[in-house]
Amino acid sequence: MRYLMEPTDPFSVVNLPWQPTLQHLHVLVAPLMVFAVGLIWKKHIAALIRKRKSAEKRLESPNLERQPGYAVTH
């Protein structure tokens, strides 16, 4: 807003009448948005990553219970 819009008064410190209000609103809303993104990450994205890693581990490690002769011969 500060850099993209034309100021109402060329000698004013505040470029637009809504600038102080929006700056205060930004200070209040930004931490809430960071918290919300963290919750979404934890519930959706991190769970999906953990699920994929556990599936990859199961595929990589040999399951000795399913191969009864493997432990005896090797």
Read off the pLDDT band of 15 (50, 70, 90): confident
Report residue 50's pLDDT band, with 50, 70 and 90 as the boundaries: confident
**pLDDT tens sequence across 29-42:** 999 999 999 888 88
How many CA atoms lie less than 13 Å away from 13 in the CB half-sphere? 1
Instruction: Tell me the whole-structure pTM to 2 decimals.
Output: 0.49
pLDDT higher at 53 or 26 = 26
Mean pLDDT across 9-37? 88
Query: What does the pLDDT read at residue 4?
Result: 75
Which phi and psi angles does 46 have, rounded to 5°? -65, -35
d(CA 5, CA 30): 22
